[in-house]
Amino acid sequence: MTIRKSGISRVALFGVSFLLVSPSLFAQTMSMQELLSNHIEKRFGMFIHYNMNTYKPGWGENRVAPSTFAPPSGDCHAFTDQWAKAAKSAGMKFAVLTTKHHDGFSIWPSKAVPPSTSPYGTTPYTIAQSGVPTMDVVKCYVDSFRAQGLEPDLYFSIWDPNNGIGSQAGHNTDPGNVDWNAVGAYITTQITELLTNYGDIPVFVFDGYSWLTGHQMIPYQKIRALVRQLQPNTLIVDHNGGVPFQVDAEYFEEPLGVKVPSGNITAGEQGQTIAKDKNWFWRSTQAAAGYLSASDIAKEIKNVESNYTNFILDCPPNLQGLLEDPVVTALGQVPQYWTPDASRAPLPEQPAKIETPLTPVSAAATSGSAGLAIDGYNDSPKGVNNTQHSSKGESLWTSTGALPQSVTLNLGKGYDNIDMLEYLPQRNTGTTAGNVTSYKVYVSTDNVAFTQVASGTWPADPTYHGLMSPERVQFPAQTAQYVRLEAIAVAGGGTSAIIGELAVGTHGSSGTTGDAGAGGSGGSTGNGDAGRDAVAGAGGSATGGGGGGAVAGAGGGGNSGAGARGGAGGSAPSTGGRGGSSAGGATDSTGFVDAGTGGSTGAGGATRGSYAAATPEAGVATGGTAGDADAGAVSSGGSGGAPAEAGGSTSAAGGTAGGIGAPDVGGGSPASASGCSCVLGGRPSSTPTSAWGWLLFGLVALMFHARQRKRTHR
């Protein structure tokens, strides 16, 4: 009776009140400029290297018994509270915790099953197997730092030899090949746990990525899309960067001699350890070697602050999980020597760069070894260590013969809205000879007919205030599978063109890059032409039929007319299946395997790619039925809710809701009835999929109540 008098049902009240008390569901996605500007104002943060290597000195050696990780307190808040209070006393605004270092031990109870390539089989290696199995250091850390009003950020090592990601067990910096089909589910599951279970994580720091596995074998396109899907406002940093290439903020590792250059205006981070012995993890000998004083720390901050770079000071906890007393004392004295410089101007407008990268599956060149231009190694000052290269130096494509010479990237399938190419010159050779100074850019859908879309010149020495920076060229949005950079002239009077790295994709936070999908039987008004996946629920470029489903369950389907790119044409935001690749499986000249034939109605199709970096996709059949099973479910291709991103049948009104999980991870939960634009596009929707689901739930509940009242008054 009370419910009827109130004029609203309990179900409806729950739906509406849930929305009102859950503002995070409606968190607005800021532009990259806003995100970087906000982060750079933090200025000073704490790096916390606390993991298995605290108790077992080393780096990437063999696994040790999980019980070796042995903080004496059963409650990790006993030490994470100390970290946070010490950080607060120093004037720090954020921190970064090593959730998993190179040895592969995770200090949260990860449920991810190690890949088949692990030398230790599928036995997990986490805190849940240690002597403190109920402890979750990541949870304690975020709790403690948020309680002090500080931002908790996370570090995650991609390179993980003891779990079969890179070299096998042992201190080995020769990772060799990585089989993405084997390791993808493990990596993406762990990232999903970290970005799902612990609230907002403003910065996610990778390590061992562009340095040891490269952005090719662990496809950066997929990793970045996953982070963007889970937390659209999270900034991505690569610990071994040192150059703003395929990152949101650059990182300078000071113990290696890599420092932010004077006059820099590119948002960055500079990391240094408080221990004078330069060890990131605690060592019993550190006290004797000493620690930086408060005045030392203040001087470091001032040196980077004026160059729009945050200073991250590593403060390694000891065997008790606590910061040493001299460290706590020094931190508490920092405000006596430094306070934020209020006169510093706001962060200047950051240059446009690729924010939706596309990982090539292969490359071809007129001469030289084209693969060296796309291996994804952002070579460090000491040179890349990798057995794929004959020498322990930079991995550079070097042409032979007379110019012009070119490198052509094969993206594996067609994409819409490609509008930027980035060129990273050689970094550590001590010469500019061979750097491309005059160029042309071409695109193609079939690797036969190429269209020139850009031409221009680059400086012989592309350093910016002493910082090696990539060169970029922006051109009108293109639909293509192949992108070619042709070197017309080079610096130094030589005839050999040199490329460190090439990357292509969509620039800017508002950009979207969609898959070019196979044609299907459109919607209610007839057969459609080739549909294209487009982020944010955009209809494909189909005439008279439904467009392709959007990536990661975003609503697909155009109206009965031709769908438009970039957000128009999506008539209903139901979750749709992803457009598929072409049938086939033919191997090209470099040994990469193209897409296999698609499955039907949410079933996984055949994988694409014998090469580790190839992105396995399932295709679509006719009638708009879609399957998209990435690594973890792709070989067996379960139905409906099992494979990640699996979709239902698409129609002119959008796809019927199918299962959706994290990309590359099988076993998704039921899909929301909404599209989600947060996987491949540059600027995700301001309202996440889950929020739309709850909104619809509330509306349905209200409608149900109204209907019940009508029946009552009959």
For residue 449, name the pLDDT band (cuts at 50, 70, 90): very high
Whether the CB-CB separation of 314 and 53 falls below 8 Å is answered with: no
Length of the chain: 714
**CATH 3.20.20.80 residue ranges for the chain:** 45-336
Residue pointed to by tokens 């079939």? 446
For residue 578, name the pLDDT band (cuts at 50, 70, 90): very low
Q: At what angle do helices 325-333 and 294-305 cross, to 10 degrees?
A: 50
Helix/strand/coil (H/E/C) assignment for every residue in 392-415: CCCCCEECCCCCCEEEEEEEEEEE
Q: Which pLDDT belongs to residue 393? A: 63
> How do residues 304-345 score in pLDDT, each as one tens digit?
999 999 999 999 999 999 999 999 999 999 999 999 999 999
For residue 401, name the pLDDT band (cuts at 50, 70, 90): very high
Whether the CB-CB separation of 548 and 577 falls below 8 Å is answered with: no
The residue-averaged pLDDT of 554-580 equals 30
The residue-averaged pLDDT of 471-480 equals 96
Q: Which pLDDT belongs to residue 27? A: 47
Q: Which pLDDT belongs to residue 378? A: 66
Nearest Cα to 679, choosing from 503, 535, 520, 518? Answer: 535
The residue-averaged pLDDT of 641-649 equals 31
Note the pTM of the prediction, 2 decimals.
Answer: 0.71
Q: Has residue 661 got a pLDDT over 90?
A: no
Q: Which pLDDT belongs to residue 427? A: 77
For residue 475, name the pLDDT band (cuts at 50, 70, 90): very high
Q: Which pLDDT belongs to residue 672? A: 31
Distance CA 621, CA 626 (A): 7
Q: Has residue 493 got a pLDDT over 90?
A: no
Q: Which pLDDT belongs to residue 86? A: 98
Most confident stretch, 205-219, 561-575, 682-696: 205-219
Q: Has residue 398 got a pLDDT over 70?
A: yes
Q: Which CATH architecture has domain 354-507?
A: Sandwich (2.60)
**CATH 2.60.120.260 residue ranges for the chain:** 354-507
Joined together, the tokens standing for residue 315 give 């403060």
**CA angle, residues 681, 687, 691, in degrees to nearest 5:** 125
Q: Which CATH architecture has domain 45-336?
A: Alpha-Beta Barrel (3.20)
Q: Which pLDDT belongs to residue 525? A: 30
Q: Which pLDDT belongs to residue 331? A: 98
Nearest Cα to 539, choosing from 651, 658, 693, 627? Answer: 651
Q: Has residue 501 got a pLDDT over 50?
A: yes
Distance CA 565, CA 567 (A): 6
Q: Has residue 687 got a pLDDT over 50?
A: no
Q: Which pLDDT belongs to residue 691? A: 43
Question: Please, what is the average pLDDT of the chain?
Answer: 72
Whether the CB-CB separation of 228 and 678 falls below 8 Å is answered with: yes
Question: Which of 178-182, 583-587, 708-712 bottoms out in mean pLDDT, i.e. has the lowest?
Answer: 583-587
